[in-house]
Each structure stands twice: as C-alpha cells, then as structure tokens.
A and B are shown apart, each in its own frame.
Chain A
Amino acid sequence: MKYWLTTKLRTLAAWGIVSIISIHQSMGSAVCQETNLEKEKPEPTVEQNERSLIFEKDIRPFLEKKCVSCHGNSKQSADLNMASGSSLLKGSESGPVLVAGTPEESRLFQAVRDGHMPPEGNPALSDSEVTLLHRWIQEGAKFSNQPGSSVAVTDQQVIPILFLRCVPCHGGRRAEADLDLRTLSGILKGGKSGTVAVPGRPSESRLIQRIHAEEMPPRRQLVSVSVKTVESGELKILEQWIAAGMPKSESGPDTATTEPDRLVADDDRSFWSFQPPQLVSPPILSDADKGLNRIHNPVDQFVVERLKMAGLSLSPEADRRTLIRRLSFDLLGLPPRPEEVTAFVSDTRPDAYEILVEQLLHSPHYGERWGRHWLDAAGYADSEGSQNEDRIRPEMWRYRDYVIRSFNADKPYDRFLHEQLAGDELADYENAGEVTQEIYDNLVATGFLRTAPDRTFANITNFVPDRLEVIADELQILGSSVMGLTLHCARCHTHKFDPIPQRDYYRIAAVFKDAMDEHDWLGPEARRLKFVTTQERSEWEQSEQQISRRVEELQEQVKATSDEEAMKKLQEQIRQTEAQRRPEPMIRALWSRGQPSPTFVLKRGNYLTPGVQVGPGVLSVLTDGKTPFPVQPPWPGATTTGRRLAFAKWLTSENHPLTARVMINRLWKHHFGAGLVKTLANFGKTGEAPSHPELLDWLAREFVRSGWSIRQMHRLMVLSATYRQCSDMTTDRLSKDPENRLLSRMPMRRVEAEIVRDSLLFVSGQLDATQFGPPDDVDVRADGLVTAKGTEKGSRRSIYVLHRRTKLPTILETFDSPQMGPNCIERGESTVAPQALHLLNNAVVYGLAGKFAERVRAEAGDSPEERIFRVHELAFGAAPENDELTAGLDAYHRLLQQWQQKFEDQQQQLTEAPQRALQNYCHAIMNTAAFVYVD
C-alpha cells in the first residue's frame, strides 16, 4: 500500500497538484494525505442543489476517476462496468447494483458507505461525492438518456428454474409423462399430454397452469424427490418468458476465448505466485563458506546464502543417533530399532547417511507415513459425517491404500493428480476386457473427490443446496491442497484479494459437473462401481462359489438325514458356511455421468439467484487470458466429456505457476516444520511471502525436471546439510533468527498423533505390520473413550484404524489428529492436560507398558541396570545418560519396594513385584517428553 501510495502521489505531483515536499512531510498518515488531495473536489454547487441529479452530469465524472479503472470497459472486476449508464444498470456478478429510490438497498451505495469500495489503498469517495450518490439514487437514479431497462427474459433465466423444480422427475433420468424440461427443444416438444408451453400465452400453458394450481411439483412428494415448491418470483419469470414468445438467448455459455479477458487484467498476473517458477541457479559460495557449512547440495547453497546475510551459518551437524531417529520418524513415522541405530552409528562408509536414506525411502512404511500427509490434505475419512448416524463409507479404504501404494512406488506427481482428478478419463474402463491394476487404480484414485462430509444420503438433506455444499467442499479441497489457493472465497463473489472472478469459480465447477452435478446427483451409496481388478473379482467369485457348493452339499446331507441331532449340527454348519460370504467387492469412485447440466454463476453464492451461464475453464489469472480451454473426449466415442482430464493436464503443465510449488512447499513443511511459504493453502496475496523464493522456484523446477518424482525431492531435502543440522538453540541464533525462518537449525518437533500411538505399539512389540485392507474397527465406551480394536498380532498402524468422524480413537484425537472440515492442510500442535491424562491413566497405554517390560525382560539381562539400558535403547535409540540412569535406578528400587510391600505372598514379592516395577518404569518412559519430541 505504501508503495502504491508513493507512486500514485508522484504521478499526482507530476501534474502539479501537490508538491513532492508536502508528500514526504505527510507520509505519516495516508488518510490525511488523501483528505488533502480531496480539496480539489468541488462541493455540490448551488445549481446541483436546486435540480435533480443526472448520472452523466453529476455522478459519472467521479465514478470515472475512482471506479472505472477496475470497473470499466477495459477491465470489469466483479463483472461490473460503470463506464456508461446502460452498463451500470446491467449490474455485477451479484445482480443489480442500483435500486432506484432506495440508496440503502443499492449495492453501489452500500459498498461505498461501508468503506469496502474503492478498496483499501485507493482514494476514497469524498463526503460530498457520497452525498451526491445517495441523493442521485434517492431521486430515482436518473440518466440523461434513460437507458432501456427491458432486459428480455430468455431460456437462460428459465432453464435453471426448471432444473431446480421440475427436472428431477421431468428430465433425462426420469422423464415422467414423457416430458423432458432440460432444454428449450424439450420444453417445445412437450409430453405425452401434448404441449406444455404455448408461446405468447402463459395462461394457456400447462406448465404455468399446473404450477398455479399447486399441482406441480406434487406437494406430498416433495421430500421424496428432494424438491421445493416454485417461488412466486420464479413463476413470474416463467410467465414473462412464455408471454415474450419463449425467446432463446443469443449468447452461449461464457468461456475463455482468444479475446483478452475483461475480468482479469495483465497486471493482476504479475504477482509472484501467478507467474511460472523462475529459472534460477543456486548461489555460488566461497570455499570457506562451503567448508564452514558442509554444503551437500544446492538446497544448502540457497539456505547458506540467506543465513550469511543475517550473519549466521548452519548449525553443526547432529550426531548420528539423532539423525537416524529424526529420519526414521520423518520418513517412516516409527522409531528406529536399536540394532539399526548401532549399525548406523558404527557404519564407516563415507556414504552411510545416503545409504540409510535410500533404505528408508524404500521401506513399505514410507508410504504409510507420507500417504498420511496426503490423506490429511485430501480430507480422508471412513464415514460420511454431517448426520447423526455418521454412516460408514464402506469402500473408502481402497483410496487410502491407493495413496500409500502410490507413495511407495514414487508415482510421478503429475500422474498422481491425473488419476485423482480424472482417472475415469484415462482409460476406457467400461470396455476393457480385463480390469487391470492400472484401471483399478485410475478409478479408486478418484476417491480424492469423494472425501467431503456428505449428508445427501437422506432425502430430507439431499436438496440442491445440500449437494452444492458437498461440491463446494470438494472444490475447497482441490483449491487448498493442490492449487494453494483460497478458491472457495470466490464462490459467493469475486475474490476480495486475489484476481479470481466469481465466474472462474463456476468455470471450475463446470469442469467437474459431469461427475458432480447438483441436478443429476448420485447419493453416497450409488457412488460405487464394480471395477475391482479382474483378479480380485474372480477370487471373490470362486470363494462364493465354493461356499455355495459347500452349502449345497450340506443341504443334500440334511435331506438325507432323519436324525434330529445330526440335522441341527448340519444346519449350524450351513449357517457358519453362509457367514463366510463376503459382500461383492466394489470401489467408491467419481466418474463422468455423460451429460452435465448447464452451470450458472450463483449470485452471492445463492442457488436461488442464478446469473450468467458459464462453460468449463480454468483460472484466468493463471493463463494469458486469451487461450480457450481445450476440451475433447478422451477417446473416440467416449461418453465422458474430457473436461476433468483437460483440467488435470493444465494443472500439471510444465510451467504451471502453482502445482509444483505447492507440492514442494508441502514436502518442505513436513521435513522442516514450516513451509517456505508458511501458509500452505494460500499462495495468494494474503498468504505469506516465501522465506526463500529462489529456493522454492529452483526446487519446483527440479521437481518437474525429475519427472515429478517426490522421492527425488525427499533426497534433495533430507540429504542437505540444512536437514542434518542439530536442533541446539544458541543466543545468537535465537536473536537473529527467532522463528527459524532462515533455517539456522532444525526445529525440535513433537511427533504427530499417529506416531505417538504407533511408537507405543512399536516399542512394546505390539505393532502388527500388516498393511492395507478394510480398516480396523474401534470400541466406544459409554464415557466416550474410543479405542482401536486389536488384531491377533497386536494392533495395526493408526492409518489402518477406522477414521469415523465421530469416533476417532481418543489417543489420536487428543494428540491433534484433525477434524476433517473438509480437509486439513496443517495440523495443530497442542500441549494440553488431556494428553498427559491419557498417557498416564489409560488402561491400553498401561497394558502396553506391561508388554514393553516383558520384552525388555526377554531381551536384556537380569540386573536393573541392564533392563533400564534396554528400555532407553528401545524407546530413545540411545543409552541413558549417567544422571538419567541414577534417577532411573533410584526410582526403580523405590517402585520395587512399594510393590514388595503390596504383595504379601513371598513368591509374588519375588516374581511379580519386579515385573510391576519395570512396567511402571516403562510406563514412565512412555510419558516422558523425550518419547514424543524429536530433536
């Protein structure tokens, strides 16, 4: 703002309106400055006071000065053009801005009065101008040539009403009475009782008659088809349209053309994140700096260069025990085993660290850790939420598995996105002879757009606004996770800070319309396809057949026997065999349904006030503004539109300003504790500027160059000297880099909820490493305690526990496992008493401490010292320090004493007391800060 003001004032100064000196003197208060400038404005003249005001004469002059640069012929923010009377009367994306006679209801006046317009940093209207505007509207908003206000009603206003009130029964899927009201031709054709609309004669049109008579939509069936009655304003539009002869609109849907965009100007595109990542080379460092900082790769060059400017260098490298523990938690979400620690500490190979990183990056647990980050961004849950019942989403786990496998396979990120946004458009799954793993993956991946809370499974919560909310959530997930934009802000109006017109939001909605259509809605239960892999299907079929055969055999035996006892036994066997049947395997997916309904901009986000029709497209600000959005069916004869695939390809085009940067930033955040852009989901103007813009751009380009390899990006990050720093704090670093934005050290971090639980299981030897498949159920106690059910081998990792929105395991919830609303871009990290209470008092944790103690007794010698050593090695990957050992032994002996006192039986004193004391010791260790904080 300051910059803007200075330039603007310079311009004015050049005109001689103010002198440069006075500018500098008054820079302290921008407000004062503007007021001074206003002095040139005339007060309303006597002449003006005596006659009624006229737009051209009295209003337009100051609108031209203060509004038209954004709302004029060349640029029309919010689709509003104030250059002429007729264009002003057309209104904005939100509808009319003038209500003649009532300034208080005129959005033009409201925006000025409330100080929203002109936006902050631009000269405001003077008091006298505001008064003039108010008076002009109050006097009836007169123009010298009253522009024609007859905005003819066309099918564009009528079609959305019919979709809302009639099409559920008289449309494509359900043409009751052979009537299809989706298009003008369908309306003209009529139904089995003949024509429904007579051009020019509304009162003779059955369409109008039946609505008037309150017969349509049928009142008693409203809820069963999730429709509401026609509102009086809507009926009026229908009548006007028929009276006018049912004219068809001359313009088609609004899409990008080769004409320059009116709503987004080139200067809007100049903001850093709307420009492609710059081509930058890593700064060149002197040999001394290289040596001092142990430079490993270009990442370090960028970081060190920046540190040098602040008079800092990288912190010393952390010791190997710290490094392996850090890497292990970071890449796998589990602590290292003591053997692994010892091996790494004593590994003398020069590339021991690199070898370790490769091992970890290829561990099957890697995908479980990094897949979890993606599931947060995608808003993964195993239930629908949003209704008391919180229904289970039975097949959602397949998406979770897909994500884990994709990370483990280092699936290129561009492909990863193509699959998740348009997997159904990548291969013709319906006509494929065999459902291969690839086709299966394509379809399961689309679960990405099926994660939002969704209550539309019940008729009463399946009205159009309910569906629109689900769509909005999915678009918010897309915007925040993949695009790093607050796209959802443009749902109700043009984005307040970023150049995202409301039109662009609805163009994107149109991209997804053939799969998420509020007028052709698939309820949650219908979102399932039978395309599991041919292999899985045939295995299931065989198993079902076997069961059937077995049952038949048993039934034959039943027929053959007359002995009642034997019969009972057989019946029981039949029951048991039948119980082995599994439901038909299905996948939950999103796919094109063929004919999308037309998309209209919803004024102020309200489904009752549709505006102009738009076609599919992308964000104008991320293009040159004069390139049409190329959409074509993905293969000849495809029933799908190809819109989403075109969108996915645009997102992953080589020079896309955001996609690579946003993903790089997410990876960086999870490795280093904070993003290079701190606001992970907001790369827009209100987001934070990157701490290391060149590094971000360099990494983004490397990402694309590497073939979008996430693993390669991990290597660049964790192999850097920056990552290998210790987390020690010094006064110097604290004062020069208080928030660690310069990366002068590694941050100490608390592990996430899943790691807390998984580590507890891991150290006590109770982690069942079985991967994939349906989630493990939870137990819910009356007081609200939720615990994951175990397996035969212990308990599986938290990512495999049922994520029912209302029944999240208490330990996960307590340690900030997120509420998906609709997704979670960045988790909170709280430090609260319930965490302590849970770890201290929960029976499961206490039981795990017992298992931990058992394990220690089995693995270590008999002396308390040896056991305490082992506990520390298992829990922390290091032997206890002397003071820790002293404290530990002291406590152990006292604990033992207490237990010996408690047991009267001598045998118990001998065997059980040491066990219980060790269990207490292990339990204490599980409660220490060192167990949940990583250096």
Chain B
Amino acid sequence: MSATSLQNQDFLTTIVSPVSRRSAFSRVGSALYTTALTQLLGRDLYAAEASGKPHSSLEPRAAQTPPRARAVIHLFMNGGPSQMDLFDPKEELNRRHGEDYFNNIAGEVEFPEAAGALMKSAFRFAQRGQCGMWVSDAMPHFATQVDQVSLIRSMYSTNLTHEPALYKIQSGSEFIGRPTLGAWVSYGLGTENQNLPAYVVLDDPLGLPVNGIDNWTSGYLPPQFQGTRFRATGAPVLDLKKDFDEPDAVTLLERDLIARLDRLHQNRRPDRPQLAARISTYELAARMQIAATDALDLSQETQATLAMYGIDQPVTESYGRRCLIARRLVERGVRFVQLFINSQIWDNHNDIASGLKSACDRTDKPTAALLTDLTQRGLLDDTLVLWGGEMGRLPIAQLPGNKDASKAGRDHNKNAICSWMAGGGVRSGFVLGATDELGFAAVEDRVSVEDWHATILHLLGLHHESLFVERNGLNERLTGVTHPRVVSEVLA
C-alpha cells in the first residue's frame, strides 16, 4: 500500500475513536489560554496581520482575552419571531386592543395599506422556572429551560425589510458582501478539529432561507471562513464524495499517482511553501471525508436521545436532527454551528395565531432538548447557544385582503427584537431590558445588533475592535465604525 493510502488508514483509526472534545481542549487549552505570554504572542500575531492581507489559516488561534465559550450554536430564527406573542407580554396592548394606532408608526410599517388596529396576543403567558421568566404557552418546552438562559427583550435593528435586516444581523451591515459572525469567529479563533470545517451551516432540507448562501458568506475574508453546508442525508458536504462510479481501489490508485507526481514536481521546486500546502489539502480532503461522515452518523445515538430531540416525530424530526447534529459537531471541536429554517416560518404576516404556533411546534422541543443534552454532557459550560431572528413584529395587526381580523398577522418591526442566549459565560435565568407599554420599541437597556455581536465576541475571548482586517484603507470589523458596548448584564 502506498504512502498516502497508509496515511489515510492512520486517520481512519484516529477518527473512529475520536478524542473527546474535553481532552482535545485540555491539550490545546493549557498551551494556548493560560499564560500571559501566549496572550501577548496572540496579540502580536494580530498586530502583524494588521499590516498585511488577511490570514487564511484555520489552525486554532489564541483568544485575545480568556474565553468563556469555545463554540457557538446559533439557532437562527429567520423571519422575525413575534416578541409580544412569545416573551414580552403587554397588558396595555390587551387593554387597547382594537384601538387605531397606525398613524403613530406609519413610517415603520412595511405594508401600510394592510395595517390594522392594535392587536393583543392570542397566546397566554405565565411565569416559568425558578426565575419567573414570562414565556407564552406557544413554547412549553422552552418554558422548562428558562433558568439556563438570558433573555434580551430590548434588541433592535435598523431596517425593517428582511434582506437588509438579515445582512445586518449576520454581518453587522445592512448591505451584501461583509463577512458574517461565524466567519469572523472562525477567522479570529480558527478551529480545533482540522478534519471538519470551522463553521458549519445546517440549513433546512426543505429549502434555503431568504438571502440564501449570503447568510453565511465570508465576504471579503478568504473563502475558507465561509459557512460550509452540511446535509443530513446523502453526501454531507458538497463534493465530499465521488459524484461518479468507480471502484474504491481505482480511486486510491489515482490519488496515489497524484501524490507521487506532486512530490516529484515539488522536489524540483524547493522552497515553495505553496506546493506543500497544496499537497496537504489533498490529504485533508481525504480525512474530511471520514470525519464528516462520522459526525453525521446518528445511529451512534441512543433511542432516548433521538426521542428527546423529537426525531421520532414527523413535525420535529427535521429540526431535531439538526439540533442533534449541532451537538455532535460542537463535541468534535467545530467552532461555529448555525441552524436555519427554510424560507421564513416566523414571518407571520397572516394568521399569527396558527402560524406562530406551528413554527414553535417545529422547533420548541428540539431546542429544549439541545439545551438539556448540552447540559447533561457538560458541554453547555463552554458552548454558547444563541436563539433569535433578524427583527421583531408590530403591535398592530396586519389584515388579510378580506380584512378578517381573526386571520390577522403582524408586520415587521425593527424597533424591538427578543432573543436569548445560554451557556458559556452567560448569566442564567435573567431578563434584560424592556419595550414600551405596547411592545413597539425597545426603551430600556437597548441592545443594538453591534452590541449583541460585541458581546458574543467577548464571550469567545475576542474583542470587536482588535478583530479586524485591513481593506482598502479601512480597518474592517464586524461592528464597523460603531462603538458598541459589551452587554455586561448578561454575563455570568
């Protein structure tokens, strides 16, 4: 057997019995995070890069400050979940139900011609958990987890249309072409498992979200920092498996030939590091094949686990599968996992009473299971779980064409967004901020998208100002030229 295929064999054995994530951390961890000296080295590295092009290495990199979380699972709720129907009960809205309010907020409505009166929530709220957090009956499973999370009721964005708002929440800018949060995190920290992508996207087999692949673009950062889509069935990653038929023995022979020719080519050209790098990408490609397949193999899980995620029930099967895969990826050292849902199930312009309920039915149980599972495995301590969308919704009704108020929905609202975070470094059982009496706009402890980004970076040991690349004369950052604050209230 040739050198390369032998090598592959070696990798096979390593990967079949994967090092637990914890021990992987302890190996890397003690070396990288503990001493002040490496901190300085880490900084110097960034400074050196400040003058040149962005780096393109996925090797683990020292955090800039001691991190509280080492991995992120972002449960992205595209479409704009309704805050006053889930997390932010409004007595005043109930009281003033039916009152005309449109003129006060006319400039903040996407469909003025369909705007109706103030509309109370169709859901019933109760205080949950030890902390007494208000959650509506649309989310019975999440209601059992409130003591683990920090709820932010006072987030806001800057554009009331999906596309710009999505670009904003993902990349900090309302416009296309900037690196997303996941790309920045991968750029800043690299990743612990070189056989898997640093940033994995688990999109919905039913279809892409609005803005499609732009949601996980690396923008002007090198492409290795963009999100890699994993599929739950078939070849998990694009091009990961042969898209044609030939015996494996043939494939191995061919790879061996490539390796031999490349080495002859390289031997004639000493001192060209590019050639060594290229050869190593072919080796990595082979290892990824095995590692990715293993990560997605849910047959390794118990029936109880599968049931907890709702994988045994049609309505929760799909999202449950992705939540479970998210855990398996984080367990294997993937830095950033982002879950999407097809189109926009939270964009309840019509019939919010049933639409919102069905969105919760699909996601509530798997989400709660993920928190439970991460906790049970001790992973929640250094995994940051994020839940939220790109916007909130209005307190007034959006009426259907026939003006039937019983089938009303809610239009977009950039002024009030509810989101929560849990896990590594996050305060538990806590509620931050408040909206006005009708829930139209965040008024207390307002959290901008930039603040939210800065807080996430902070939890990962990165600083929004020192994480930048120089481009066309500007130091480009996730948070742009703004001066965000780290939302210290939600830190544990």
Contacts and interface: CB of A to CB of B under 8 A. Distances in A.
A336 interface: no
Contact of A785 (B160, B238, B244): B238
A388 B163 CA distance: 6
B265 A929 contact: yes
Contact of B281 (A388, A497, A810, A832): A832
A872 to B, nearest CB: 10
A222 B275 CA distance: 59
Interface in B241-273: 241-244, 246-247, 249-250, 253-258, 260-262, 264-266, 269-272
Contact of B211 (A388, A727, A930): A388
A222 B224 contact: no
Contact of B220 (A458, A466, A806, A819): A819
A489 B473 contact: yes
Contacts of A916: 246, 250
Interface in A905-935: 916, 920-921, 923-925, 927-930, 933, 935
Contact of B265 (A387, A729, A831, A928): A928
A391 B106 CA distance: 29
A805 B219 CA distance: 12
A816 B272 CA distance: 20
A222 B106 contact: yes
B305 interface: no
Interface in B187-219: 210-214, 217, 219
Contacts of A921: 257
Contacts of A252: none
Interface in B48-63: 53-54, 56
Interface in A128-150: none
B222 A929 contact: no
A453 interface: yes
Contacts of A447: none
Contacts of A843: 243-244
B77 to A, nearest CB: 17
Given A898-B250, A920-B250, A831 B472 contact: no
Given A891-B256, A920-B250, A832 B223 contact: yes
Interface stretch (A263-271, A395-403, A623-631, A879-887): A879-887
A110 to B, nearest CB: 10
A394 to B, nearest CB: 20
Interface in B159-178: 160-164, 167, 174-178
Contacts of B162: 388
B277 interface: yes
A727 B109 CA distance: 62
Contacts of B485: none
Contact of A895 (B103, B161, B242, B254): B254
A933 B175 CA distance: 35
Contact of A806 (B214, B223, B237, B285): B214
Contact of B239 (A386, A458, A842, A847): A842
Interface string B270-302: 111011011101101100100000000000000
A928 B261 contact: yes
Contact of A830 (B212, B222, B238, B241): B222
A622 B210 CA distance: 45
B473 A891 contact: no
A929 B279 contact: yes
B481 interface: yes
A833 B286 CA distance: 9
Contacts of A174: none
Nearest to B106: A219
Interface in B328-381: none
B240 A460 contact: no
Given A388-B210, A813-B223, A830-B222, A469 B175 contact: yes
B344 to A, nearest CB: 10
A814 interface: yes
Contact of B473 (A461, A486, A813, A929): A486
Contacts of B29: none
A471 B316 CA distance: 46
B274 A928 contact: no
Interface in A829-865: 830-838, 840-843, 846-847
B229 interface: yes
Nearest to A902: B247
Contacts of B472: 476, 480, 486, 488, 681-682, 825
A16 to B, nearest CB: 39
Nearest to B279: A929
A825 B220 CA distance: 11
Contacts of B278: 831, 929, 933
Interface string A341-374: 0000000000000000000000000000000000
A831 B58 CA distance: 11
A223 B112 contact: yes
Nearest to B412: A460
A729 B271 contact: yes
Contact of B224 (A748, A784, A832, A927): A832
Nearest to B212: A806
B37 interface: no
A103 interface: no
A833 B285 contact: yes
A750 B112 CA distance: 54
A228 B281 contact: no
Contacts of B262: 928-930
A214 B264 contact: no
Interface in A216-237: 219-223, 228-229
B231 interface: yes
A386 B163 contact: yes
Contacts of B246: 916, 920
B106 A229 contact: yes
Interface string A371-399: 00000000000000111101000000000
A837 B264 CA distance: 22
B261 A930 contact: yes
A822 interface: yes
B235 interface: yes
A828 B285 contact: no
A819 B225 CA distance: 13
B347 to A, nearest CB: 12
A810 B239 contact: yes
Nearest to A219: B106
B425 to A, nearest CB: 28
A387 B214 CA distance: 10
A814 B223 contact: yes
Given A681-B473, A828-B222, A929-B265, A783 B238 contact: yes
A763 interface: no
Contacts of B264: 881, 883-884, 887
* Residue from B103, B210, B246 having most chain A Cβ neighbours under 10 A: B246
Contacts of B223: 813-814, 816, 828, 830, 832, 834
A260 interface: no
A913 B122 CA distance: 69
Contacts of B231: 783
B238 A810 contact: yes
Contacts of B213: 784, 806
Contacts of A729: 269-272
A477 to B, nearest CB: 11
A748 B272 contact: yes
A611 interface: no
A833 B228 CA distance: 12
11 contacts: A453-B177, A458-B161, A687-B473, A784-B229, A825-B472, A831-B277, A832-B56, A832-B281, A883-B264, A898-B253, A928-B261
Given A727-B269, A828-B53, 19 more contacts: A221-B112, A229-B106, A388-B163, A388-B211, A460-B161, A461-B163, A492-B481, A748-B269, A805-B176, A832-B281, A833-B281, A836-B282, A837-B239, A837-B288, A838-B239, A843-B243, A920-B250, A924-B254, A935-B269
Ranked 7 nearest A-B pairs via Cβ: A821-B177, A486-B473, A891-B257, A843-B243, A219-B106, A729-B271, A836-B285
